[in-house]
Amino acid sequence: MSEQSPSGKLPHEEPLNPYFLGLAGLVTRYRWLVLGLSVALTALSGWAIATRLTVDTSVESFAATHSESQQVLEEYRDDFGRDDMFFVLIEGDVFSMPYLERLKALHDELATLDVKVESLGERRADRDAKRHRAPIAAKPAAAPAEPAPSEAALDDAFADFGDDGFGDEGAPEDAFDDWAGVEGGTIIDEITSLVNVRQTRGTPEGIEVGELLDPFPTAADLPALKAKVLADDTLVGQVVGRAGRHSVIVLRTQFMAEADTVKVYHALEDIVARHQAEGFDIRLSGMPALNVGLNGLMMTDLSRMLVLSVGAMFLMLLFLFRHPIGVLGPLIVVAMAAINTLGMMALVGMPLTMLSNILPAFLACVGIGDSVHLLSVYRDEMRRGAAPVPALVKAVATTGVPVFYTSLTTMVGLLSFQFASLEAIQEMGLAGAYGVLVAMVLSLTFLPALVTFNKSLMGAKAEGRHDRLDHFLELCLGASGVADDDGHGPTPAPALRRRRRTLLAGAALVGFALFGMSLLRVYHNPLTWMPDGTPVKTDIQMLDEHIGGTANVQLLIDGPPGRGLKDQALLQGLEKLQAHIAAYEHPDVGPIVGNAISVLDVLHETNRALHGGDPAFDRLPDTQRAISDALFMFENAGPDELRRLATNDLQRGQMSIRIKWLDATSYVPLAEHVEAGIRKYVPADASVRPTGSIYTLVTTVSHLLSDLIRSFGMAFVVITIVMMILLRNIKLGLIAMVPNLMPIAFIMGLMGGLGIPIDMNNLLIASIAIGIAVDDTIHFMHHYRVNHDWTGNVEHALTRAMRHSGRAMVSTTLILMVGFFVYLGASMYNIQRFGLLIGLTALMALLIDLVFAPALIRAAFRRRPPKPQESAA
Amino acid sequence: MTRLARFAVALLTSASLATPALAIAPDSTDAKAIMQAVEDRPTGDKSKGRLVMTIIDKSGRKRQRVVGSRAMDFAEGRRQIMVFESPADVKGTGLLSIDYDDGDKDDDQWLYLPSLHKSTRISSGDKSGSFMGTDLSYADMTANDPDHWTYTLLEQSATVDGEECWLIEAVPATEKAKSETGYLKTHVWVSKKKLMPLQLKAWVIAGRKIKLIKFDDIKQVDGIWVAHKIMARTVRGKTPESTTVLEFSDLSFGNADVGDDLFTQRQLEKGL
């Protein structure tokens, strides 16, 4: 480059970017307009957050919605309702009168649970809208004997109701409106416990489908009851523990939004608290309870930590700038970026998920970085004697380019999540990218407008006086071998030695990182995030230990056309499949498969009952017609029971299998075992498709690693290209990727070495690490490139780059380290790890950029003869 | 609720006589008297007909069954025999039921299954459960004691399909009525002209659902008003969960060939 410096002081100062120079001029001239607009937009976002932001903290919000198992799950829910259930586990002497009486009282109260649920019945419409898919098409009747009434005509008939009779009470197809203001009713779809578990009894004259404790037993009946129940394999593990010390009430509610599930959870907690008694120790558990409990803990911990982290950053800013604008400016930028991001999410209908919880912390990294660089350069200019406004203009004009590029690369990193298969990660990427953009715009407009009110030096020492930071930067230059070298003649021996030592240390670090990375594993188990003794964790463990399990596999069964579930060959295949699944043993944990419930149970029970209760007939009826008859009989006696297991046309059914709680990856062999069984035992004209909570976890987690690699790959390619464009040099662009990647490799290696797994929670650490690493590199490299173009001397360019951005880089890193190490005080392990790893990333990124990168550049670029300007100077 | 049951079901087999004006004045405001009059109206004591049941679930799956039916009043209550004509896999299956007038006595049901070659007595503990997978419950199908209900006249003159009705609210007055029907309350539109309900809306406690029942295609058969079509729909939240359509044909009353001997287990095993 041979253009003249706008300031005319060659080569003392690097050139100013004309675009950012213009922007700085506008901002200082219209500062009130800039401040007013920023505040107004933030207020609008605040309003959107208050009125429209939705929260979806279910594990399922992470689910790969287009995965096959998730689509099967949706089909399952369309026909059979909610697949996750609350479990109320009660410890005590089950077969004693006080226990059973209390159980009955609790069961009866839970059965009538009534909570005002706003999202009732919205699932289907929501789902259809969300998937941009037409509602499931009506399935044609199997050769109807008579012409069936058309659905449109039926809808018309019920619409007429509204006009003629129900008009003043709301549309007849909106039961929610009809129930508005009506007290009573229950949102419980299904409740099962020892009190009402189905009993198909053979009587001398026929069969009776009734409830286990109807009539309620007397003390004299208890020994017989105990013997009978504990001998019944369909009850042990379903509603009662094998030792007779635990029983469970299984509650299935209607579909509702996550916020309503939280309400139901708290209502259940209240009821449970009222029924607690000695010898009747109640615990509320199950997947919905786990979700609510886990999210509650996460939210509390994260918000507490966020406050502490902001406090720590505040103190650090105070230490560095000692001025209200210096301290509050960056924090206000971060807060406004976060508010605007959440506001955008609210406006476009993006829900807040467990992932987006991390957004404020993420934006803190980005916003603080941008602001601190600007403020540091501004302060350095003042320190050199510039007046406040010219100093500000110069700060914007020299930091504008690197701030723009750091934001661009961070946005690329986040937008690369569009290639992830999980919707929540895609949305988080979009929202994060938007937040980065807002933080950049605010750092370059709002913050300078605010800074125009400053007149002081912001705690900086006058020029010529070295502070500790200057000493530290010199130390870094020394370590990289730059300090001992004036860039002329052969490289002095000490400088060469130091540079080689530094490069060797860098290579060793890479070696360590690669080794650590080879130990990385995917392991997603939110229970391990909680310290032992956390009630939610203990409850799940007790449930697993004593009754069935918390997780489930659901099989969605479609019978051959016409015969459907009555098909004898299909039923025989299902029996073998059930036995195959039940026989599964996990390589480490042993048996993990609990009870299975399906239409097979109904057929066994009915067949036995039809043969006078003879246990020899506890099997499928022998002929096709006998199977049809047994189902017909059962349907007549217990149609609602059958509806939970099969659709009304008996074409489709479900098998629900309880599984003990493990980490997601450990379910992979089970999933393979189930699929092998399906291939082996299910006839070709039928279909059995597995789904359920473990499938949601397995498919979600199986995508994590590939998502991570794909997203990283994309981000790597794009960031490399951006680096080359920014640095206008292919070689330098490639070299710059080394300090970009090293901190990330170090962090992943550290995770592998420390046994910290890749899970849904810390997947994002990598993206934040990219953001931090690239930011430091860009600031350093940009100033190196500009100064090198200006001076043609590698050593001088490195020294000037270090002086220009080194101070800001150190300040930013200190603030981030303090802000994130505070997270080590969290109670949940995943949040502690998050803080530790981000803090260490910031430290490593700084050291690599200030020590290793100069040595690498120095080694890669040969000296050039000095440019004419420099010799002239 | 006033034997919606009987109405709904009444349709299977009997119907109200076209003489309601004699029972109660159209300007009556006494809800209980109106419901008593509906209750007490004479019904055809021997009936036969054919019924097509269509059930459509929320996913649009349809299931259809065709049943031949006979019914007759006895001293202790009503007996009814139904034999399935289609689909093929249930053809020949039969159901005999006795709905006792004595509300304290459980109803009796026998089922004939061709594969067993004998009839079997069945009973279910839950009367609020669905009848054969339809949107109607067993309780809808059997008599209810008016003394177990509290009636309030909501509207003296409501209109349904252009016909003047009383709109009456029925609330279970006893736990028995509440648990047997599973209803929190019902609204019934009773035709002043025909003294039979034209439509009904029930608040179903389990799941906070709404059940709508519409009596349609009402024609006189042998001087008796009969709804030839009953539509029932269960709605939860904003979504219809399922819909049942019962269509009656070949209805006749006072049939000489409907006699005592038709309502026995032996006859059940032989078919209609």
Q: Is B63 within 8 Å of chain A by CB?
A: yes
**Chain B positions in Cβ-Cβ contact with residue A142 (cut-off 8 Å):** 87
Report which residue type is found at A458: M
User: What H or E segment, with its residue span, contains residue A325?
Assistant: helix A324-348
B8: left (phi > 0), else alpha (psi -120 to 50), else beta?
A: alpha
A776 close to A849: Cβ distance less than 8 angstroms: yes
pLDDT tier for residue A60 given thresholds of 50, 70 and 90: low
A298 close to A357: Cβ distance less than 8 angstroms: yes
Q: For an interface test with A, which of B85, B210, B244 has the most A Cβ atoms less than 10 Å from its Cβ?
A: B210
Residue A438 in this model has a pLDDT that exceeds 90: yes
CATH number of the domain bearing residue B197: 2.50.20.10
Q: For an interface test with A, which of B239, B245, B269 has the most A Cβ atoms less than 10 Å from its Cβ?
A: B239
Average of per-residue pLDDT values in chain A:
82
Q: What are phi and psi of B198, to 5 degrees?
A: -100, -30
Kindly report the three-state secondary structure assignment for every residue of chain B: CCCHHHHHHHHHHCCEECCHHHHCCCCCCCHHHHHHHHHHCCECCEEEEEEEEEEEECCCCEEEEEEEEEEEECCCEEEEEEEEEECHHHCCCEEEEEEECCCCCCCEEEEEECCCCEEEEEEECCCCCECCCCCCEHHHHCCCCHHHEEEEEEEEEEEECCEEEEEEEEEECCHHHHHHHCEEEEEEEEECCCCCEEEEEEEECECCEEEEEEEEEEEEECCEEEEEEEEEEEEECCEEEEEEEEEEEEEEECCCCCCHHHCCHHHHHHCC
**B106 in any annotated domain:** no
CA distances A487 to A14, A786, A791, A864, Å, are 19, 17, 11, 9
Provide the shortest C-alpha distance from residue B122 to chain A (in Å).
Answer: 5
Q: Which two tokens stand for residue A480?
A: 């990289």
User: Taking CB atoms and an 8 Å limit, are A141 and B93 in contact across chains?
Assistant: no
Provide the shortest C-alpha distance from residue A695 to chain B (in Å).
Answer: 24
**B95 in any annotated domain:** no
A241: left (phi > 0), else alpha (psi -120 to 50), else beta?
A: beta
Sole residue written with tokens 């009848």: B131
**DSSP E strands, A129-260:** 188-192, 198-202, 206-211, 246-253
**Chain B positions in Cβ-Cβ contact with residue A211 (cut-off 8 Å):** 125
Residues spanned by the domain of A335: 1-52+322-465
Burial A725-758 (b: 16+ CB within 10 A, else e): ebbebeebbebbbbbbbbbbbbbbbbbbbeebbb
A179 close to A243: Cβ distance less than 8 angstroms: no
User: Which pLDDT belongs to residue A485?
Assistant: 66
Closest partner residue to B184 (CB to CB) among A172, A185, A630 is A185
Q: Compute the distance between CA of residue A678 and CA of residue A574 in angstroms, rounded to an integer.
A: 9
Q: Compute the distance between CA of residue A844 and CA of residue A850 in angstroms, rounded to an integer.
A: 10
User: Which pLDDT belongs to residue A144?
Assistant: 42
CATH number of the domain bearing residue A378: 1.20.1640.10
Q: Which two tokens stand for residue B18?
A: 């076209």
User: Taking CB atoms and an 8 Å limit, are A154 and B231 in contact across chains?
Assistant: yes
Q: What are phi and psi of A5, to 5 degrees?
A: -70, 135
**Chain A positions in Cβ-Cβ contact with residue B123 (cut-off 8 Å):** 206, 208-210, 637
Provide the shortest C-alpha distance from residue A694 to chain B (in Å).
Answer: 25
Report helix, strand or coil for A531.
coil
Radius of gyration of chain B (CA): 18
- Nearest chain A residue to B204 by CA distance is A185
Beta-carbon contacts of residue B152 (< 8 Å; ≥ 6 apart) = B31, B168, B169, B171
Closest partner residue to B66 (CB to CB) among A145, A214, A640 is A145
**B237 in any annotated domain:** yes
**B18 in any annotated domain:** yes
Q: Compute the distance between CA of residue B18 and CA of residue A188 in angstroms, rounded to an integer.
A: 43
pLDDT in tens, A739-785: 988 998 998 899 999 988 888 777 767 777 777 888 888 889 988 88
Q: For an interface test with A, which of B122, B155, B216 has the most A Cβ atoms less than 10 Å from its Cβ?
A: B122
User: Taking CB atoms and an 8 Å limit, are B89 and A164 in contact across chains?
Assistant: no
**Chain B positions in Cβ-Cβ contact with residue A188 (cut-off 8 Å):** 206-207
∠ Cα A90 A96 A99 (to 5°):
35
**B81 in any annotated domain:** no
Beta-carbon contacts of residue A486 (< 8 Å; ≥ 6 apart) = A795
Radius of gyration of chain A (CA): 34
Tell me the longest C-alpha to C-alpha distance in chain A. 116
pLDDT in tens, B95-134: 888 887 776 677 778 888 888 887 887 765 566 677 777 8
pLDDT in tens, B4-13: 334 333 444 3
The tens place of each residue's pLDDT in chain B, 272 residues long, gives: 333 334 333 444 333 333 334 467 888 888 888 888 887 766 667 888 999 999 988 778 888 999 998 988 888 888 889 899 988 888 888 888 888 777 667 777 888 888 888 788 776 556 667 777 788 887 777 666 778 889 999 999 999 888 999 999 999 998 888 888 889 999 999 999 888 889 999 998 887 788 999 988 988 887 778 889 999 998 877 678 889 999 988 888 877 777 888 888 888 888 76
Q: Residue A605, Cβ neighbours under 10 Å: how many?
A: 24
Q: Are strands B118-124 and A687-691 parallel, antiparallel or unpaired?
A: unpaired
Q: Are strands A206-211 and B118-124 parallel, antiparallel or unpaired?
A: parallel
pLDDT tier for residue A59 given thresholds of 50, 70 and 90: low
Report helix, strand or coil for A290.
helix
Provide the shortest C-alpha distance from residue B144 to chain A (in Å).
Answer: 20
Q: Compute the distance between CA of residue A661 and CA of residue A552 in angstroms, rounded to an integer.
A: 9
**B48 in any annotated domain:** yes
pLDDT in tens, A675-728: 999 999 999 999 999 988 788 778 777 777 777 777 778 888 888 888 888 888
User: Which pLDDT belongs to residue A436?
Assistant: 92
Overall size of chain A counted in residues? 873
**A638 in any annotated domain:** no
Handedness of CA A175, A181, A184, A188 (dihedral sign): positive
**B264 in any annotated domain:** no
Beta-carbon contacts of residue A231 (< 8 Å; ≥ 6 apart) = none
The count of domains in chain A is 1
Q: For an interface test with B, which of A636, A642, A652, A654 has the most B Cβ atoms less than 10 Å from its Cβ?
A: A636
Q: Which two tokens stand for residue A676?
A: 């092998």
- Nearest chain A residue to B84 by CA distance is A632
**A821 in any annotated domain:** no
Report which residue type is found at B34: I
User: Taking CB atoms and an 8 Å limit, are A165 and B54 in contact across chains?
Assistant: no
Q: Are strands A551-558 and A86-91 parallel, antiparallel or unpaired?
A: unpaired
User: Taking CB atoms and an 8 Å limit, are A209 and B125 in contact across chains?
Assistant: yes
Provide the shortest C-alpha distance from residue A185 to chain B (in Å).
Answer: 4
Q: Compute the distance between CA of residue B96 and CA of residue A732 in angstroms, rounded to an integer.
A: 91
DSSP state of A758: B
Q: Residue A799, Cβ neighbours under 10 Å: how many?
A: 24
User: Taking CB atoms and an 8 Å limit, are A176 and B237 in contact across chains?
Assistant: yes
A450 close to A329: Cβ distance less than 8 angstroms: yes
Q: Work out how many CB contacts closer than 8 A connect A with B.
A: 240
Q: Report, as an integer, the average pLDDT of A808-813.
A: 87
**A329 in any annotated domain:** yes
User: Taking CB atoms and an 8 Å limit, are A649 and B243 in contact across chains?
Assistant: no
pLDDT in tens, A608-660: 888 877 889 989 999 998 998 888 888 877 777 788 899 888 899 999 998 98
Tell me how far the alpha carbon of residue A43 is from its chain's centroid.
28
Residues spanned by the domain of B230: 4-66+126-255
pTM to 2 decimal places: 0.79
Q: Which two tokens stand for residue B202?
A: 């029930």
Q: Residue A89, Cβ neighbours under 10 Å: how many?
A: 22
- Nearest chain B residue to A649 by CA distance is B63
**B116 in any annotated domain:** no
Closest listed residue to residue A266, CA positions, set A241, A236, A288: A288
Q: Is B190 within 8 Å of chain A by CB?
A: no
State the alpha helices, DSSP H only, in A519-567: 535-546
User: Taking CB atoms and an 8 Å limit, are A157 and B231 in contact across chains?
Assistant: yes
Sole residue written with tokens 């929320």: B58
Q: Compute the distance between CA of residue A566 and CA of residue A548 in angstroms, rounded to an integer.
A: 28
Provide the shortest C-alpha distance from residue B159 to chain A (in Å).
Answer: 6
**A179 in any annotated domain:** no
pLDDT in tens, A144-195: 445 555 666 666 667 655 433 333 333 444 555 666 666 667 788 889 999 9
Q: Residue B77, Cβ neighbours under 10 Å: how many?
A: 18
B240 close to B234: Cβ distance less than 8 angstroms: yes
pLDDT tier for residue A464 given thresholds of 50, 70 and 90: low
Q: Compute the distance between CA of residue A593 and CA of residue A581 in angstroms, rounded to an integer.
A: 7
Q: Compute the distance between CA of residue A283 and CA of residue A269 in angstroms, rounded to an integer.
A: 9
A467: left (phi > 0), else alpha (psi -120 to 50), else beta?
A: beta
A74 close to A126: Cβ distance less than 8 angstroms: no
- Nearest chain A residue to B206 by CA distance is A186
- Nearest chain B residue to A162 by CA distance is B160
Closest partner residue to A633 (CB to CB) among B62, B111, B208 is B111
Q: Which of A213-222, A253-262, A604-613 has the lowest mean pLDDT?
A: A253-262
User: Taking CB atoms and an 8 Å limit, are A158 and B199 in contact across chains?
Assistant: no
pLDDT in tens, B48-78: 899 999 998 877 888 899 999 898 888 888 8
**Chain B positions in Cβ-Cβ contact with residue A122 (cut-off 8 Å):** 237-238
Q: Report, as an integer, the average pLDDT of A224-252.
A: 90
The count of domains in chain B is 1
Residue A482 in this model has a pLDDT that exceeds 90: no
Q: Compute the distance between CA of residue A203 and CA of residue A210 in angstroms, rounded to an integer.
A: 12
